[in-house]
Amino acid sequence: MGVCGRTTNTLPRDQLAQWLDVALVEAPELPVSWNVAPTQPIYVMGAGPDGSRKLKAFRWGLVPSWSKDPRSAFINARAETLSEKPAFRSLLRSKRAIVPISGFYEWYRPPGEQKAAKRPFYFQAADGAPLAVAALWDVWRGARGKELRTVALVTTEANDTMRPVHHRMPAILAAPAWDEWLHRGPLEMGRRAELLVPALDGLLDRWEVGPAVNSVNNDGPELVVATGAVVGP
């Protein structure tokens, strides 16, 4: 499982669209879920040629347009190497997107205890608002005109809240940066580095949750109930 291998989507589509201030909703209503996994559809915000925001739904797990096998997908894309990886560098110009999520999970294993079971932790905004994660998308076309639109979440170094659990975290964008990231055009490398930074300390809350989230077959608000355990500062 990659960094941020599970997320939550607990807002109805129209409420999420209002929060994002999109001009056009093209996504179907996705089910509310406390255990969204790769290969499932997730909401994606992109921009039209005129810069207007649009809400769509793509499959989580990016399949490059040149891929021979749609089963080979990228859940995440490291911010530091986007321009180096063949799967991502061509997407930086015109296929940047934002994935809104309610929160995400990460798993922790105590250092030096390789046989110990990983412990799931849940992260969400301290104020309960959704999180806008930088993303890249692509379109894969197969035989007989089959078309698959997919997306990968961009990750960056961990902030102080995340670091005790994992050294990476989703690249969360503040609202003033949304349109700049969505703009269909090149984004200077220095500016990209300024945008794809660890979230400000204090943005997120974290708590340990039960192991039920480990199975994609489990869903419901009980998955994010705190167990009372803690790790790190």
Q: Which residues are catalytic?
A: 4, 106
Which among 15, 5, 8, 105 has a CA at the least distance from the CA of 55? Answer: 15
Indicate the residue type of 54.
K
Q: What is each CA distance from 122 to 39, 171, 225, in whole angstroms?
A: 20, 16, 9
Please give the Cα distance from 35 to 29 (Å, whole number): 16
Q: What is each CA distance from 8 to 18, 100, 112, 127, in whole angstroms?
A: 18, 10, 30, 16
Q: What phi-psi label fits residue 143: left (phi over 0), alpha (psi between -120 and 50 degrees) or beta?
A: beta
* DSSP conformation letters of 46-101: EE-TT--EEEEEEEESB--TT-S-TT--BSEEEGGGTTTSHHHHTTTTT-EEEEEE
Q: Of all helices (H) and strands (E), which one includes residue 104?
A: strand 103-108
Residues in the chain, total: 233
Helix (H, G, I), strand (E, B) or coil at 19: helix
